[in-house]
């Protein structure tokens, strides 16, 4: 075998420093050892790598042709060593992150991945999109180490989490929908309840978030993209993240529903969640730290969480068969929610 890690380093040092003696000083060796290593490499390759006719050895065209690949190999060796060292410090072999699909375009989580790719270039990362309930189920099954989801209605003692962002859900409808023919002040909760709602929810039929379940007639999908298409087609209205529908609102394809007696905007926190049963590895902790660094939530505590911006009085006249939405605004914030840190996980 011609090239190995040692003679590769010597070869590149001779190229970079312009002489065997300078390469020897850089490597902490004697010049004769560098000269001998290069001579043995030339013999094994049966290639002249340096022209020794002058005062200092000059790289041959063959040597210069090898340099780009030699540098790539040296960098790969360095990455391998750094990766192995990181693993001894707790770096996991791979990182799986489940993301609620509504947050894929709305939350800048990919910036954190860019930093991770630089700090841990050999780490394998998998990003899965799944409805919120399914993403949380992936945590409990061990399929994913982290889930990026909207805040839940209650605390699960098996979970730890960190608030990393806020997102506003807005009630939207196709700009051509008959609902918009009414004067904004005349559009009331009973009209919204009577219209078909396109609901983004998990695959379990029992999985319904009462904070956003409004209409008596609902069509469900596990994809916000599908929901957006159905709303654009005039099939119903939906709560969707403001960042997700910004372009459609700006183009006039969709309109935010005006209302006379309630607010059609609901601000929720975005959490990165993990399970207490599986402590986070080095990369997962770093991902949480990076997300929290981008957050506008620093310093917030659980009791500061405001109730959803929907008037409870607006829904007080619901019939017995209507969804119980008064509870979503009357419910207190998540009491005692901890400001978990990656270090604690």
Q: What is the CATH number of the domain that holds 82?
A: 1.10.10.10
pLDDT confidence of residue 147: 95
Confidence class for position 184, pLDDT limits 50, 70, 90: low
Distance in angstroms between the alpha carbons of the first and the last residue of the chain? 46
In the chain, helix, strand, coil percent, each to 5? 45, 20, 40
Query: What pLDDT band is residue 185 in, cutting at 50, 70 and 90?
Result: low
Coil, strand or helix at 223: coil
Q: Which pLDDT score is estimated for 310?
A: 38
Q: How confident is the model at residue 64 (pLDDT cuts 50, 70, 90)?
A: very high
Q: How far is CA 28 from CA 19, 24, 34, 37, 224, in A?
A: 14, 6, 10, 14, 60
What is the pLDDT at residue 344? 41
Residue 43 lies in a domain: yes
Q: What percent of the chain has pLDDT over 90?
A: 26
pLDDT band at 345 (very low <50, low <70, confident <90, very high): very low
pLDDT band per the 50, 70, 90 thresholds, residue 325: very low
Report the C-alpha gap between 46 and 92 in whole angstroms.
43
The per-residue pLDDT for 93 is: 85
pLDDT band at 96; cut points 50, 70, 90: very high
Look at residue 55 in the predicted model and tell me its pLDDT: 84
At 273-316, the pLDDT tens digits run: 999 888 888 899 999 999 988 544 433 323 334 433 333 333 33
Least confident range from 94-98, 129-133, 341-345: namely: 341-345
Give the per-residue pLDDT at 294. Answer: 57
Cα–Cα distance list, 327 to 169, 204, 330 (Å): 18, 22, 5
Domain-embedded: residue 135: no
Q: pLDDT over 70 for what percent of the chain?
A: 79
16-30 average pLDDT score: 89
Report the mean per-residue pLDDT for the chain.
Answer: 79
- Tens digit of each residue's pLDDT (9 = 90 or more) over 109-165: 889 999 999 888 888 999 999 888 889 999 999 999 999 999 887 778 888 899 998
Closest CA to 283 of 95, 82, 110: 95
Q: Could you give the CA distance from residue 83 to residue 120 in angstroms, rounded to a whole number?
A: 7
- If one counts the domains in the chain, the total is 1
The domain of 57 spans 5-86
Instruction: Judge whether 11 lies within some domain.
Output: yes
Q: Taking the model in full, what pTM does it have?
A: 0.60
- Of the candidates 249, 246, 201, 208, which has an alpha carbon nearest to the alpha carbon of residue 224? 201
Residue 104: pLDDT above 60? yes
Report how far apart, in Å, the C-alpha atoms of 102 and of each of 37, 40, 225, 250 are: 59, 61, 8, 19
- Beta strands at 265-275 and 197-200: parallel, antiparallel or unpaired: unpaired
| Residue (of 164, 208, 75) closest to 219 by Cα position | 208
Asked if 333 and 307 count as a contact pair (C-beta separation under 8 A), the reply is yes
Is 165 within the bounds of a domain? no
- Tell me the mean pLDDT in the region 74-94: 74
- Does the residue 58 lie in any domain? yes
Is residue 186 situated within a structural domain?
no
- Is residue 75 assigned to a domain? yes
Confidence of residue 6 (pLDDT cuts 50, 70, 90): confident
Confidence tier at 232 by pLDDT (50, 70, 90): very high
pLDDT at 319 over 70: no
Q: Quick: pLDDT tens for 192-215.
A: 888 899 988 877 756 667 777 888
**Tokens for 77?**
């060796």
SS3 314: helix
Rg of the chain, C-alpha, whole Å: 30
Cα(115)–Cα(287) distance, integer angstroms: 9
- Kind plus residue range of the DSSP H or E element containing 197: strand 197-200
Residue 48 included in any domain: yes
């Amino acid at each position: 075998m011609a090239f190995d890690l040692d003679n590769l380093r010597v070869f590149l040092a001779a190229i970079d420093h312009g002489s065997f003696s300078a390469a020897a000083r850089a490597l902490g060796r004697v010049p004769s050892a560098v000269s001998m290593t290069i001579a043995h490499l030339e013999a094994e390759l049966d290639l002249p790598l340096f022209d020794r006719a002058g005062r200092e050895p000059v790289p041959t065209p063959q040597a210069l042709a090898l340099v780009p690949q030699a540098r790539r190999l040296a960098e790969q060796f360095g990455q391998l060593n750094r990766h192995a060292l990181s693993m001894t410090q707790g770096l996991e072999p791979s990182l799986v992150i489940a993301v609620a699909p509504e947050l894929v375009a709305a939350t800048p989580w990919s910036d954190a991945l860019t930093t991770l790719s630089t700090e841990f270039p050999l780490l394998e990362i998998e990003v899965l999109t799944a409805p919120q309930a399914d993403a949380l189920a992936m945590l409990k099954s061990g399929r994913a180490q982290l889930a990026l989801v909207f805040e839940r209605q209650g605390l699960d003692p098996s979970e730890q989490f960190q608030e990393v962002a806020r997102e506003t859900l807005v009630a939207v409808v196709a700009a051509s929908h008959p609902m918009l023919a009414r004067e904004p002040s005349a559009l009331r909760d009973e009209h919204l309840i009577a219209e078909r709602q396109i609901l983004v929810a998990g695959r379990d039929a029992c999985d319904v978030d009462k904070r956003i379940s409004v209409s008596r007639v609902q069509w469900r999908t596990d994809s916000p993209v599908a929901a957006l298409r159905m709303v654009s087609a005039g099939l119903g209205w939906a709560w969707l993240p403001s960042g997700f529908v910004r372009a459609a609102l700006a183009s006039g394809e969709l309109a935010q529903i005006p209302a006379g007696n309630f607010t059609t905007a609901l601000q929720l926190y975005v959490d990165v969640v993990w399970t207490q049963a599986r402590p986070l590895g080095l990369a997962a902790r770093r991902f949480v730290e990076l997300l929290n660094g981008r957050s506008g939530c620093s310093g917030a505590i659980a009791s500061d969480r405001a109730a959803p911006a929907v008037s409870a009085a607006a829904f007080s006249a619901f019939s017995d068969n209507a969804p119980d939405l008064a509870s979503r605004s009357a419910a207190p914030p998540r009491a005692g929610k901890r400001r978990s840190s990656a270090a604690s996980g």
